[in-house]
Amino acid sequence: MTTTPRRRVLRPAPRPVPIAPANARREAQALRRRTKLAQSRTALRRWLTRLKRATSTVLTLHQRIARLEAALAAD
């Protein structure tokens, strides 16, 4: 017996609400802030990736140095 996928309920897209002229400036400012927020989040994600990579490299080098120092101390 095969299962059939569930049917999706198709609803019309909501109509955009007209913006009053008094709120147009506020809406434009909110749009600019959302855009800046998205750009900042992207930049932060990029920097965190670099930071993780650098932290991993530092830990690896620290372990290597500790092993070499212990080997030299044993001799």
Q: Is residue 58 part of a domain?
A: yes
- Domain range for residue 59? 23-75
Q: Is residue 12 part of a domain?
A: no
pLDDT tens for 6-32 read 888 888 888 887 767 778 888 899 999
Report how many domains make up the chain.
Answer: 1
Q: Is residue 35 part of a domain?
A: yes
Q: Is residue 52 part of a domain?
A: yes
The per-residue pLDDT of the chain, averaged, comes to 90
Q: Is residue 40 part of a domain?
A: yes
Contact predicate 27/19, CB 8 Å: yes
Q: Is residue 1 part of a domain?
A: no
Q: Is residue 8 part of a domain?
A: no
Q: Is the pLDDT of residue 52 over 80?
A: yes
Q: Is residue 50 part of a domain?
A: yes
**Where do the DSSP E strands lie in 30-70?**
none
> What does pTM read for this prediction?
0.56
Percent of the chain with pLDDT over 90: 61
Please give the pLDDT value at position 62: 98
Please give the pLDDT value at position 9: 83
